[in-house]
Structures are given as C-alpha cells and as structure tokens.
Amino acid sequence: MELLRIGDKVISRQQIDRWITRILDLRLQGVSQQDAAQKLKIDRTFISRLESLGELRKGGGVAVVGFPVADVQSLEQICRKYGVDWWLLLSEAERLNFVGQDGLELFNEVMNILAALRDFDTVVVMGSNKRVQLIEGLLDRDVIPLILGESPLQQDVVVDLVEFEKIIQAICSKEDL
C-alpha cells in the first residue's frame, strides 16, 4: 500500500484509485454526474473536474510526432486511416539527416515544427523518455506520450502498431469507444 504524507494527513494512493474507478465505472454505465455523486455521497463538481482532468480531446486537431521509429510507412498508414491532421515520423537515419543541416536552418525548422504543433488540441508523441518529457513541457495542450525507451535512443524502435492504432482510433473517433 502506497501511503503519502501531506502535512498532517496520510493519504492512500490505492484508496484514491478505488474511488476514481468507482466514479468512472458509474459514468461508463450511463449514470449522470449528479446521480453518481448522490450514490457515492460526493460533490457533483468533483466528478466534473475529475473528468476534465482526464479529458484528452474535445474534437480538435490531432498531430503525431515520433522518432526514431521503424516502419514509418505503417504508422503513416494508420494516421491516414483515422484522419490524423499532421504527423512527423522519422527513422534514425532520417533524424540524423534532419539534425545534420546548418545550425540556423535546423533551429528555424524546429521552431516551425513547434509552432505547427501548437495549432493542434492533441499531440501524440513517440520517443525517448527525455524527448517526450521535453515536448510535453513545450506544449500547453494535451500530449499523449508513447515512451519508446530510455534516452538516448540511437536506433529505430519498433512501435506496437496495435497499441498505436488503438490510441489514434480513440482520439480520432467521433463515436463512443
């Protein structure tokens, strides 16, 4: 059991997880926020805020960034299939070629990519733990991380295409999951 001391309080992480699970289970069953709150004897606004914290997409644009990835063509095919708006997927060779350009040209291109990413509501980022963390810090929108390994990654990483497709389908689908 994971216990956390916050000031004078001792908090159980597992108890929080159980409550969140109970709330989400009721909501998935179609129970309204108000009815779930009454049943659990909690405030309805708590449920609303909880859902807002976990919300990944309201319908805006989706972008995907991934490097160094193997099978770029399959990843692009999934992006096309579900209507991803923008993507940048690079193998290690493509990434090394990209960073090998003139310093000023590279800086400008990176700034252009960051500016482009800021136009999307949701960005899926595949890369090393440090690269994903860096991109999350630079963007003020929903970032869905897919950690491909510990930094530095120096060779192409095979992405689980089934997992990637499930994520893309979930955030691009206009229907309930």
Which among 168, 120, 171 is positioned nearest to 141, based on CA atoms? 120
Short-list 85, 166, 80, CA closest to 123: 85
For the segment 143-152, the average pLDDT, to the nearest whole number, is 94
Return the domain boundaries, the chain: 3-54, 62-172
Judging by DSSP bridges, how do beta strands 62-66 and 9-12 pair with one another? Answer: unpaired
Is 122 in contact with 171 (CB distance < 8 Å)?
Answer: yes
Least confident of 59-63, 116-120, 136-140: 59-63
**pTM for this structure?**
0.67
Q: How far apart are CA 80 and CA 84, in angstroms?
A: 6
CB 117 within 8 A of CB 58: no
- If you search the block for the tokens 């990843």, which residue do you land on? 75
pLDDT one-digit tens code per residue, 11-70: 888 988 899 999 999 998 988 889 888 999 998 888 888 887 776 545 568 999 999 999
Residue 176: the pLDDT is 47
- Fold annotation for 62-172: Rossmann fold (3.40.50)
58 — phi, psi (to 5°)? -105, 0
Q: How far apart are CA 168 and CA 85, in angstroms?
A: 11
